[in-house]
Structure 1
Amino acid sequence: MRLRRLVAAIVLSALPFAYPLFHLDLVGGPLPGTAGVVGLLGALAMWWQVLLGARQVSGWFSADRGRIVTAHAWLGASGAFLVLLHPLLELIADRHGPAYLVLLDFTWVESTYTSLGRLALLMFVLLWLSSTLLRAVTRHRLWQRVHYLSYPLVGLVFLHAYGIGTFLAELPWLRAYWLALAAAFAGVAGWRLAAPLRARRYRLAGAERVAGGVTVYSLRGSGVRPLPGQFCHLRTAAMERSHPFSVVRARDGELVFAVKDAGPFTARLRALPVGATVLVDGPYGTFTREAQLGGRPPVLVAGGIGVTPFVELAVRRQDAVLFHATRHPMDLHRHLGPRYRPAHPGGERLTAARITRDAPGDAAYFVCGGPGFVAGMVAELRAHGVPADRLFSERFEW
């Protein structure tokens, strides 16, 4: 239901830009007017895309991060079309050559504002390429850093339209609306930058090294109350980038995370002494909500460290069965007994045939792990007859 509010909010925010479509004579005719409206709508799509990219904001509309990401991607696709169409229409309307799209000129006021738009266009093309044609060969960390360009990009778009936007110059009320959008964007950017200051401070109570390059951390504190399957963002210092980890257990002020070695941040976590402060932001996610609320017995399929969102849920639901594709089974037999079914130590691959053979006929399936594991297992389960409405998945990015 809350996602419908998001759709309604996007539509309502776009309505003011429909007014100029009926007054194209204000800016010299249909083609220049259409180019202006297209640019404003493209900017609005980017505005929403950036806002939904901030988890602190998207949570106001829905806790289901998967649906938010889908909306974020849809806005990116529609915004890309509008953003790229705008300069092409301007080029045709003013009868410029192709160099008009990339020529930077800061010698006078109008050319400066136009050049800000060109810089935004170049940054947008870089963002678009990193999310489409180059996504398969771009590491997640690099992709995320490139996406930080979206903040200065949108800032440049607001400045460009404020200085050049003909409709904004002719319609004072639309100019005021544009400034309100810019102020809201600045507020969200500041809110996100201040996120470390709002994070809960937890104390590292213990760290236990287990098999397979995994360390189990116990944090003590208050204020974070995750449900089974949710995750939190952790920082070891206020100015560093946060990293998401699923909560294995949350009871009586204790948060437990199982973290696999995966780069510099996990190395810094391992180096922390007992008593050190860890900043916790969250909780987020709704991956296993259907398993908690639904009546179907849950079949949990984990690849490696992807088991972490399932542990607490499997303990609480006595009808849950946990399949684990791993070379290093966790010590879960004492909690789950035969309901914990890791891959055999001999290396036999966990297959959909084995899972569906042992699962109840009316089960709901939940798959979590790395991108390759999730894609392959979901395809196998679909091929073995698991309906799409009973198959849920979430992938880990390292």
Structure 2
Amino acid sequence: MTRLAALMLLTALPFVPLLGRAGDIGDAANLTGLGGALCLWWQVLLGIRQVSERLSDDRLAVVALHRWLGGCGAFLVLLHPLLEMISLQQDLAYLAELDFTWVESTYTSLGRIALGLFLLLWLSSTLLRAAVRHRLWRFVHYVSYPLAGLVLLHAWGVGSYLAELPWLRAYWLGLAAVLALAVAWRAAVPLWTHRYRLAAAEALSPTVTEYTLAPAGRGRARGRGLRPPRPGQFCYLRLRAFSRAHPFSVVRQGEDGRLTFAVKSAGPFTARLARLAPGAVLRLDGPYGTFTREAHEDDRPAVLVAGGIGVTPFVDLVRRHAGPHMTLRHLVSSPAEAVYREELRDRLGPRYEDAFPRDLPLDRRARYFVCGSPGFIAATTARLRTRGVPREQVFTEQFDC
């Protein structure tokens, strides 16, 4: 995170000299607008996993930072038009009026459209998050791309500091170019994702199947594919280059580059995956994640809490790093979800339980790693917090189709 923090500070430095120029509400409105735009710029960049993964290997910290930037951006983006309205002595209608009849009003209207898109994004991520399905929320989140573009265009056209300072205008153009390249990269990722062939499919239970994929094409010729995943990491699988990607945790990796995933039958994607014949080609992107990294960095107690198929991020972790400091609690709603039970029990002994206790045994030194559905994670983390476990000792990864 040190490298990422340094980059963020570096991008904010050109705005520091402007703080001494603020003398009235109009100047304050300009500064809040520029600050909000920079927050949104970073939020969009960190929301592109191919970018954020290269800036920091601490995914949980990046996700937390992404959310924090969203909060800061929300405050500044909402404050900016209010200050402009007060500075120009306008009423609330000023915030919604669209006028494309001349150049300045067009740029101002772009800002108002951006404000509307931002409100849609903010509401779907906060007040309405519990009522919005994950897929709909994900599609609404794509609004952040045109939103950031509209904000940059709005400031370019009517920002007084940008008009007065050529060097700041050039810097703003550079920010816009970097954002455009990052979004283009994100859109083109499916073109160069790794090609794998389905080598084997084995039913672990009536609802869970283990798929083994082998590198195809150049990866096969060189005996490699994706870079080796670390315990707890996941990859995104696609059936075709531009089809929707779905994340699945790696439960085994072979020396020949083969990767194995355990997939629960749940939805159209897994149904299509189950119909694939051996030799079928899939696209893989990753690996990403590693929310379990702290579970094996030292001998501090680590409690792994899994809901159903949420046990998959822990399988490779237990195989490689099981020790007396590690325990696993696996809640299963039916025997069909108790996959890897015998192997995990053999490795962990009495430190593996597939019956979830009413109250988790509390160890104030322990770190808790929780994986499962959003509802399972919400209930488990609430229980831990109620029992006094600090927020910084709880790490989560949710499955949501």
Q: TM-score, normalised to structure 2's length?
A: 0.89
Q: How many residues align structurally?
A: 384
Gaps of 5+ in 2: 216-223
1:133 matches 2:127: yes
Native 8 Å contact 1:205 1:274 kept in 2: yes
1:261-340 pair list within 5 angstroms: 261-296=265-300, 298-319=302-323, 320-326=326-332, 327-328=334-335, 329-334=338-343, 336-337=345-346, 339=348
Task: Name the CA distance, whole Å, in 1 between partners of 2:385 and 2:143.
Answer: 38
Structure 1 residue aligned with 2:12 = 14
CA contact (8 A) 1:314 1:322 kept: no
Alignment of 1:350 onto 2:350? no
User: Given the alignment of the two structures, is residue 50 of structure 1 paired with residue 48 of structure 2, yes or no?
Assistant: no
Distance in 2, matches of 1:389 and 1:23, equals 40
Aligned mate of 1:37, from 31, 50, 56: 31
Aligned residues: CA RMSD? 2.2
Q: Alpha carbons of 1:382 and 1:133: their partners in 2 closer, same or farther (altered >3 Å)?
A: closer
Query: Equivalent residue for 1:257?
Result: 261
Measure the CA separation in 1 of the matches of 2:295 and 2:97: 55
- CA 1:193 to 1:369, structure 2 compared with 1: closer, same or farther past 3 Å? same
State the AA in 2 paired with 1:325: L
- Stretch deviating more after TM superposition (122-131 or 95-104): 95-104
The AA in structure 2 aligned to 1:89 is L
For 2:291 and 2:347, the matched residues in 1 are separated by 24
Paired AA for residue 348 in structure 2: R
Q: Which residue of 1 aligns with 2:244?
A: 241
**CA, structure 1 residues 181+386, in 2 after alignment: closer, same or farther (shift >3 Å)?**
closer
Over residues 117-152 of structure 1, what are the superposed CA-to-partner deviations in whole Å (9 max), with x where a residue is unaligned?
Answer: 111110000000001110111111111100101001
Shift of 1:361: 9.6
Q: Distance in 2 between matches of 1:123 and 1:321?
A: 45
For residue 339 of structure 1, what is the amino acid of its counterpart?
A: L
Go from structure 1 to structure 2 and tell me whether the alpha carbon gap of 1:150 and 1:318 turns closer, same or farther (over 3 Å shift).
closer
- 1:270-327, CA deviations, whole angstroms, 9 ceiling, x for partnerless residues? 2222111111111111212122221235432211010001111212234244332112
Listed as ranges, the gaps of 5+ residues in structure 1 are 344-348
Moved more, 6-15 or 388-397: 388-397
Find the residue that maps to 2:314 and give its secondary structure.
helix
TM-superposition CA deviations, 1:32-51 (whole Å, max 9, x none): 11111111110010000000
Per the TM alignment, residue 21 of structure 1 is displaced from its structure 2 partner at its CA by 2.9
Task: Give the TM-score normalised by structure 1.
Answer: 0.90
Shift in CA distance, 190/295, structure 1 to aligned 2, threshold 3 Å: same
1:322 is matched by which residue type in structure 2?
A: L
For 1:157-180, what per-residue CA distance to the aligned partner results, in whole angstroms no more than 9, with x for missing partners? 111111111111110000000000
**CA 1:219–1:179 in 2, change beyond 3 Å: closer, same or farther?**
same
* Contact 2:121 2:141 survives alignment (8 Å): yes
Q: Does 1:206 align with 2:209?
A: no
How far off is 1:72 after superposition? 0.5
